[in-house]
Amino acid sequence: MYQLISNFIESVKEIDKDIFPFLANKKNFNSEVDSVYYSGPYWDDEEIVEMIHSITKGKWLSSGEKVHKFEKQFSKKFGFNHSVMVNSGSSANLVMIAALKKYFGWNDGDEIIVCACGFATTVAPIVQNNLKPVFVDIDWSDLNWDLDQIESKISNKTVAVISSPVLGNPYDIDRIVEICKKNNISLIADNCDSLGSKWNGEYLTDFAVAASCSFYPAHHICTVEGGMVSSNIKEVVDLARSFAWWGRDCYCVGQQNLLSCGTCGKRFDNWLEGYDGIVDHKYIFSNMGYNLKPLDLQGGLGSVQLTKFEDIHRIRRENKQLIGNIIESIPGIRVVGEKENAETSWFGVPIICDSKELKETLVEFLEKNKIQTRNYFAGNILLHPGYKDLDDAAKYPNANQVLNKVFFLGCSPTINKSMIEHISNVVEKYKNRGDEKKYIPFHHRV
């Protein structure tokens, strides 16, 4: 069947060369009409064939055998004992925090230390689980959180810190591990931007009690949407699965759902305390949960993507170096590098500008020349309407400079040599432009 689907796709291409326009890795890049997207799915026909096969021949539409297989493969690849796939990285953070809270017996109002800069859904799940985020500022040298401030913010209510390295780039992991051990608190990994990054040869997630991951199209591997919660503690992943599956107590997956007796061997039993009768375990709810399940075709896509991960990691590192060198040739620009003990699986090329004006003129020039740029996500999250009541943004002066001076370019494996040559040409034009051709920053225009 796979071969039949592949033949069908080839026949369609003979009629329409522009099928699958969402794929960013255009082999025949034309700088006059094509954009250099900062990221996108690193797919070829193999993923498309897998999707069609899942729909036409798969046994499940919602989460089933292919998702279960991918969970096992992902765990093996990245050194976990247990994983559960969900529908996004944000959902992964939500159920991971919920699972850890219940497993460790954290109380409402207990504190988790988090960086003031980053992505919104690193912070939101803390609040959504009735815990308190305690913020720290960033270290301007690498844009990661200030480790000295972490130590100063630990209180008798602190239960954990949640680590989310900037664009996948590790800070001093030895020190955060030491801080956590000394204070008997947990290290949680928001690994959505950092899949494959290592410290002293070990994955960053090896140091954490649990880790989340995202499979959004911009991320290292893409399953359309998707996320994962992983841990070496079975009970944590079981709880995460329950929260993601309506709060259900039953843990059957895939074909196990078809067993009349269930995985537990007593699917129909006296499950409800206070009710004298036989109940189907599938309809026992031990938690207040959500429906955050993925589609089974997403599991199939994940399995295909894992076979390409080493290439993805290698090309991201190569592209970051090449693009970083090009951008750093501009006066007033610094590109953040990795520490000696790190092997970064770069999410993007982090760029620090000397001034707000430089950032604004450079970003506009790149965008006008079809090179996508991105802010470093939210900047200081406390500046945003949904988060401003959590703390005073003014207490974090370094974080407040991020929107003024920091942005990033992509280094995705979808960016090929022709695109990098275009970036180089555009940067040369930027450096050589005359005063009369300089762009006026957006907010200065009449």
* Per-residue pLDDT reduced to its tens digit, 72-124: 999 999 999 999 999 999 999 999 999 999 999 999 999 999 999 999 999 99
Per DSSP, the chain holds a count of helices (H) and strands (E) of 14, 16
What is the pLDDT at residue 52?
A: 92
What is the pLDDT at residue 445?
A: 43
**End-to-end alpha-carbon separation of the chain, Å?**
61
Q: Is the pLDDT of residue 433 over 70?
A: yes
The angle, 0 to 180 degrees and rounded to 10, between the axes of the packed helices 309-327 and 296-306 is 70
Tokens of 307: 């076979």
With beta carbons less than 8 A apart as the criterion, state whether 215 and 89 touch: yes
Cα–Cα distance measured from residue 293 to residue 88, given in angstroms and rounded to the nearest whole number: 9
Q: What is the pLDDT of residues 194-207, one digit of tens each?
A: 999 999 999 999 99
What is the pLDDT at residue 258?
A: 67
Q: Is the pLDDT of residue 437 over 60?
A: no
Q: Is beta strand 406-410 parallel, antiparallel or unpaired with respect to 348-353? A: antiparallel
What is the pLDDT at residue 446?
A: 37
Higher pLDDT, 400 or 33: 400
Average pLDDT over residues 269-280: 89
Higher pLDDT, 17 or 26: 17
What is the pLDDT at residue 251?
A: 80
With beta carbons less than 8 A apart as the criterion, state whether 196 and 364 touch: no
Residues 6+ apart with CB under 8 A from 404: 356, 359
What is the pLDDT at residue 21?
A: 75
C-alpha separations of 280 from 232, 265, 269, 290 in Å: 29, 12, 7, 20
What is the pLDDT at residue 442?
A: 46
Residues 6+ apart with CB under 8 A from 53: 1, 2, 5, 300
Tokens of 192: 């959505």
Please report the domains of the chain, with CATH numbers, ordered by start residue.
56-306 (3.40.640.10), 309-433 (3.90.1150.10)
Question: Of 43-52, 167-176, 219-228, 399-408, where does mean pLDDT reach its minimum?
Answer: 43-52
Q: Residue 438's pLDDT band (boundaries 50, 70, 90)? A: low
Closest by Cα among 406, 415, 377 to 139 = 406
Tokens of 1: 């069947």
**What average pLDDT is seen over the chain?**
93
Tokens of 289: 């949960």
What is the pLDDT at residue 250?
A: 83
Average pLDDT over residues 199-227: 97
What is the pLDDT at residue 26?
A: 62
Beta bridge partners of 377: none
**CB burial string 322-350: b at 16+ within 10 A, e below:** bbbebbeebeebbbbbbbeebbbbbbbbb
Q: Residue 17's pLDDT band (boundaries 50, 70, 90)? A: confident
pTM: 0.93
Average pLDDT over residues 35-55: 93
With beta carbons less than 8 A apart as the criterion, state whether 230 and 78 touch: yes
Q: Residue 59's pLDDT band (boundaries 50, 70, 90)? A: confident
Q: What is the pLDDT of residues 238-269, one digit of tens each?
A: 999 999 999 998 887 767 766 777 777 889 98
Q: Is the pLDDT of residue 270 over 90?
A: no
3-class DSSP state for residue 136?
Answer: strand
Polymer length in residues for the chain: 446
Concatenated DSSP letters for 295-359? BHHHHHHHHHHHTTHHHHHHHHHHHHHHHHHHHTTSTTEEE----TTEE---SEEEEEESSHHHH
Q: Is the pLDDT of residue 426 over 80?
A: yes
Closest by Cα among 174, 238, 204 to 345 = 204
Concatenated DSSP letters for 168-209? G----HHHHHHHHHHHT-EEEEE-TT-TT-EETTEEGGGGSS
Higher pLDDT, 148 or 443: 148
